[in-house]
Amino acid sequence: MSADPAVWLPFVFAALMGLSIVIYVVLDGFDLGVGVLFPFADDDEKDLMVASIGPFWDANETWLVLAIGLLLVAFPVAHGTILTALYLPVAVMLLGLILRGVAFEFRAKAPARQKARWNRAFFAGSLMASLAQGFMLGLYVLGLDHSWAALAFGVVTAVFLTVGYSFIGAAWLILKARDDLQVKAVAWARGGIWGLILGLAAISAASPLVSTRIWEKWFTWPAMAWLAPLPILSVLLVGLLWAMLRRLPMEGDRLSWVPFVAATALFVLAFLGLAYSFYPYVVPEQITIYQAASAPESLWIILIGTIIVLPMILGYTVLSYVVFRGKASLLNYDLIAEDPARDGKAAPRPPR
């Protein structure tokens, strides 16, 4: 790496954007996945499922705004090219995100007879957003090509990413739910792990086939040796998940965090593989991050802010997950604990 800011600044911003995307895919992945699983749950379970993601979904989606914001500000040329090429799936995703975001609120506040309708909107919105993201991933991997073959591949990745999201959503519920819902979530995860495996395999197989450049990056010595841990770790994680899902839930809720952590690790590995394949291109095979980058002085201004603010963001994200740790319980807006015995932490002040 060079000391020239025009070289390393775009790299740093590509890394930051990648970090935002991977955090987004894991975090919104699980809450979109919970939405996709909605039709399989009964009404009481639906309330609990929403409660398990209620305090987080908004911050989760902010990572998408940050990722797209970084693309916008650091690589403005690429931003225009990518988003105009993906015009329709982007619109479908946005409509989906709108529907599910508002359904969260409306299903709890609208008259009871409308609740079923908002539940359907929540499912439909989650499904639309997941499918659209998977479709865009497929098109992107194939170089934003609009041939029939590329569109067909997009449909395949749309289905697999959606199943992948429902898998990590189920893994989240194994962690956050108890009793019947937890047992159900284990069954959902067993059904969804196929999508994850096939999706990883399809993208891993397709990207080197599409581009000889990517083929050479992976299948030449000694790169192969350096890269070997990626597929090996992935296979080990899939094996671990397989074994765990046959044993969960365990006595005393032991190890219920393993599927979620393993699924997260799988998503991260898959992302690292993709990032390695496409670097240095931001628009596949067309525009590199260095060609698309904004002026260094503008990137500087953003970088300074990012370095100061990112640790704070991570800090209060962690705070929010700590505050709402443990098993999910129904949400309420009470200012004072209804039943001090419930968690014992925030009892109302004693009578004077």
Partner 1 sequence: MDTLLLSRIQFAANISFHILFPTITIALGWVLLFFKLRFNATRDPKWMEAYGFWVKVFALSFALGVVSGITMSFQFGTNWPGFMETVGNVAGPLLAYEVLTAFFLEAAFLGIMLFGATRVPGWLHTLATFLVAFGTTLSAFWILVLNSWMHTPQGHELRDGIVHATDWVQIIFNPSMPYRLAHMLVASGLTVAFLIAGISAYRRLRGDRAASVAATLRFGLVLAAVLIPVQVLVGDLHGLNTLKHQPAKIAAMEGNWETGGPRPLILFALPDEERRENLLEIGIPHGASLILTHSMNGSVPGLNDYVAADGTVLHPPVAPVFFAFRIMIGVAVLMMLLSWTGVALMRRRRAGVEGLPKAFLHATVAMTFAGWIATLAGWYTTEIGRQPWLVTGLLSTQEAVADVPAPMVLGTLVAYLAVYLALILAYVGVLFYLARKAADGKPLGMMPGSPAAQVAITAAE
Encoded tokens for 339: 């039943």
Encoded tokens for 166: 């429902």
Helices (H), the chain: 5-36, 43-53, 57-74, 76-85, 87-109, 115-141, 148-176, 179-210, 212-218, 223-227, 229-247, 258-278, 289-292, 296-323, 340-343
Give the separation between CA 340 and CA 334, rounded to whole angstroms. 12
For residue 5, state whether it binds partner 1 (rule: CB under 8 A).
no
Give the separation between CA 188 and CA 170, rounded to whole angstroms. 6
Give the residue with the Cβ less far from partner 1, 280 or 348: 348
Closest alpha carbon to 20 in 82, 62, 80: 62
With contacts defined by CB under 8 A, name the span among 144-152, 243-251, 255-263, 330-338 that binds partner 1: 330-338
Based on the number of CB atoms within 10 Å of its own CB, is 164 exposed (0-12), middle (13-18) or buried (19 or more)? Answer: buried
For residue 15, state whether it binds partner 1 (rule: CB under 8 A).
no
CB of 195 to partner 1, least distance (A): 26
Q: Footprint of partner 1 on residues 25-84 (CB under 8 A)?
A: 47, 51, 54-56, 58-59, 61-62, 64-66, 68-74, 76-77, 79-84
Angle at CA 110, nearest 5°, toward 125 and 51?
A: 60
Residues 13 and 288 sit within 8 Å (Cβ to Cβ) = no
Give the residue with the Cβ less far from partner 1, 251 or 334: 334
For residue 341, state whether it binds partner 1 (rule: CB under 8 A).
no
CB of 71 to partner 1, least distance (A): 8
Largest CA distance in the chain: 77
Residue from the set 98, 255, 268, 275 that interacts with partner 1 by CB under 8 A: 98
CB of 324 to partner 1, least distance (A): 7
CB of 188 to partner 1, least distance (A): 23
Residue 197 one-letter amino acid: I
Residues 165 and 130 sit within 8 Å (Cβ to Cβ) = yes
Say which DSSP state 84 is in: H
With contacts defined by CB under 8 A, name the span among 87-95, 164-172, 215-223, 247-255 that binds partner 1: 87-95
CB of 54 to partner 1, least distance (A): 6
Q: Footprint of partner 1 on residues 235-294 (CB under 8 A)?
A: 294
Angle at CA 123, nearest 5°, toward 121 and 127?
A: 115
Give the residue with the Cβ less far from partner 1, 224 or 314: 314
CB of 346 to partner 1, least distance (A): 5
Q: What 3-state DSSP class applies to 273?
A: helix
Give the residue with the Cβ less far from partner 1, 250 or 332: 332
Residues in contact with partner 1, counted by CB under 8 A, come to a total of 79
CB of 213 to partner 1, least distance (A): 26
For residue 184, state whether it binds partner 1 (rule: CB under 8 A).
no
Give the residue with the Cβ less far from partner 1, 252 or 351: 351
Give the residue with the Cβ less far from partner 1, 181 or 203: 181
Residue from the set 11, 106, 218, 271 that interacts with partner 1 by CB under 8 A: 106
CB of 97 to partner 1, least distance (A): 6
Q: 219-227 long-range contacts, Cβ below 8 Å, gap at least 24?
A: 227/276
